Amino acid sequence: DAGITQSPRHKVTETGTPVTLRCHQTENHRYMYWYRQDPGHGLRLIHYSYGVKDTDKGEVSDGYSVSRSKTEDFLLTLESATSSQTSVYFCAISEEVSENTEAFFGQGTRLTVV
């Protein structure tokens, strides 16, 4: 199994509070991704990173920010959580994006905003 650890695995938070989710990898892969998974929508890309301090937005980036100060860590921050951000969040990594690689996924973080 690829070395990807997401923390926390479960979190309940109140509307309006900041929340940070962490993804840690031990594979030294260049690319890291944050997805959210919701019924009827599948996986939607929030943000991704293609190197230290290099990040870009995905299709559902509003309300989220990310940071990558080290190769192994990719943080997702909800500045002010809303109920619409209740979801399961997955981190993924890949060595590169090509025919020869695959994305490896973490176990997911279930976030509930009340």
Partner 1 sequence: GNSVTQMEGPVTLSEEAFLTINCTYTATGYPSLFWYVQYPGEGLQLLLKATKADDKGSNKGFEATYRKETTSFHLEKGSVQVSDSAVYFCALTVNTGNQFYFGTGTSLTVIP
Among 71, 75, 77, 105, binds partner 1 (CB under 8 A): 105
Helix (H) or strand (E) holding 44: strand 42-51
Residues 75-94 that bind partner 1 (CB under 8 A): 90, 92, 94
**Residue-wise over 95-113: b if at least 16 C-beta within 10 A, else e?**
eeeeeeeebbbbebbebeb
Q: Does 52 bind partner 1 (CB under 8 A)?
A: no
Among 50, 61, 75, 86, binds partner 1 (CB under 8 A): 50
Bridge partners, 111 (sequence order): 11, 87
CA distance 51 to 71: 7
**Residues that bind partner 1 in the complex, under the rule CB under 8 A:** 4, 31, 33, 35, 40-43, 45, 48, 50, 56, 58, 90, 92, 94, 97-100, 102-103, 105-108
